[in-house]
Amino acid sequence: MPDIAFVKPALPRSGALVLPVAEETEAAPGSLRAALEEASGGALSRALVAAKFTGRKGQSLTLWAPAGPQGPSKVVVLGLGKAADLTESGAENAGGAICPMVSAEREAVVAAEAMTPGQAAALGLGLTLRSYRFDRYRTTEKEEDKPKLERVAIAVADPAAAKAAWVPRAALAEGVFLSRDLVSEPPNVLYPEEMAERCKALEKYGVEVEILGLKEMKKLGFGALLGVAQGSAREPRMVLMHWRGASGPKGKKGATKPLAFIGKGVTFDTGGISIKPAGGMEDMKFDMAGAGAVIGLMAALAGRKAKVDVIGAVGLVENMPSGTAQRPGDVVKTYSGLTVEVINTDAEGRLVLADVIGYVQEKYDPRFMVDLATLTGAIIIALGHEHAGMFANDDQLAEQIAAAGKATGEACWRMPLGDAYDKQIKSDIADMKNVGGRPGGSITAAHFIQRFVKDRPWVHLDIAGTAWATKDHPIVPKGATGFGVRLLDRLVADNYEG
């Protein structure tokens, strides 16, 4: 992650200079562009004309050392599109586009004089998020192939205001990076006990972390979660993370109903006895992306000192086949007392969520609950990799999340719920079964979870299609996306802090 600074405009004497240029603008060029024109003897203007550069969104032009040895070694001109259409999300995407263009330089200056402080900070966030790399296990990578970028100075008219806008975004970036790190880890390194231990790092932000082990969950009656875990040599864990930004430590200022975020944390999913095909099974290391998002969200909220009380809860298990593994046909009793006939052991995430949701709801009486899970392949068939599937029992909460998704680019599409789908999970011998057949598979999975929700607003986000990127995106490099951290941080910031 490069250091981000906000400075007054000054032509750099080395490194890269980036000039974001709006389309069809009649405004006078910024001071950095004017200084470069003078130092280069008009080389910039000649290059722009020769390249037919108009400032069209995404258009770019690179010049090498146009001002000679006393100026920047590289100049990148980036089109922003129409100035009136530039949003903070657009500024983030511009920052993401800049990152690979300057990654070979140690330092870069970005001329953002025409941007508002919020847009300049958003540009810094986009650049930071795109810079993410998970390379801790690469031992033979050549030095010249590694990014060099260490510092980015964003030149603005009011550095103090831009820095103030940057501070919460810096905390958000740390939360996204934490989520991406967790999701990227190989399953022999990150298993339930290890993932629970890593949650303790949140204590440095003031988050209270409580870890429940096998013994405690047996005593509580977590029959569904423990049924998933029983085939693995790795013991399960449940982690409860408290951020008391409104009431203070231990609720000293008076208890308030917390917001609850709950994540599925299957650190590796073989499918259990209903084993998955071998091809692509290695991807099942990110079946804990819902939990990773909740952990990253807690880091972001605490890091920026969000004025809200939040409980983050994650159920951590490994789903393995063995002589002790759960069988198709088993019946388990959940924390809530409801019984489940297990038809398919590869529909395990909803069993984990059932117990955690039931426990959080009863113990903490939250204002609302949002769960995140890489739950079904069916949601990828329905929505591809462009949207997370959203299921809700509350229109207001659903609309707030949809708006947050639009603002952050972490898009959610609301899916239906209805009695006909719920009937598909009726069991002949138990209160319900854990699958309802192939038709509407993501919907019947949501209905299963809903049966453990009582009388409060709830949203289920199926992020199976959005947790991992198979190619680079503007602010998301290939790999773990951290989907959900920015979405839910915006949900909280826009609607629940006060």
Q: List active site positions.
A: 276, 350
**Quick one: DSSP state of residue 13?**
S
Q: What does the DSSP assignment read for 404-444? A: HHHHHT--EEE----HHHHGGG--SSSSEES---STTHHHH
Q: What SS3 class is residue 37?
A: helix
> Phi, psi at residue 184, to the nearest 5°?
-80, -20
Question: What is the rounded CA–CA span in Å between residue 146 and residue 142?
Answer: 7
End-to-end Cα distance, the chain: 31
480: its two tokens: 């773990």
**Quick one: DSSP state of residue 85?**
G
Which of 33, 76, 36 lies closest to 58, judged by CA? 76
Which of 312, 301, 359 lies closest to 496, judged by CA? 301
The answer to whether the beta carbons of residues 382 and 415 sit under 8 Å apart is yes
Degrees (nearest 5) of the Cα angle 4, 309, 461? Answer: 80
The answer to whether the beta carbons of residues 96 and 126 sit under 8 Å apart is yes
Tracing tokens 């129409």 back to the chain, one arrives at 82
* E strand or H helix at 261: strand 259-269
How many other C-beta atoms are found inside a 10 Å radius of the C-beta of residue 1? 15
Q: Between the CA of residue 337 and those of 214, 226, 333, what are the distances in Å?
A: 19, 14, 6
Q: How many H-runs (helices) and E-runs (strands) does the chain carry?
A: 15, 19
Question: What is the rounded CA–CA span in Å between residue 118 and residue 301?
Answer: 19
Regarding beta strands 468-469 and 479-480, do their DSSP bridges make them parallel or antiparallel, or are they unpaired? antiparallel
Question: What is the rounded CA–CA span in Å between residue 161 and residue 99?
Answer: 23
283: its two tokens: 């991807």
Question: What is the rounded CA–CA span in Å between residue 298 and residue 455?
Answer: 25
- Close Cβ partners of 244 (under 8 Å, ≥ 6 residues apart): 208, 250, 251, 309
CA 214 to mean position of chain CA atoms: 29
Question: What is the rounded CA–CA span in Å between residue 292 and residue 290?
Answer: 5
CA 434 to mean position of chain CA atoms: 27
**Quick one: DSSP state of residue 28?**
P
Question: What is the rounded CA–CA span in Å between residue 54 and residue 2?
Answer: 30
CA 229 to mean position of chain CA atoms: 26
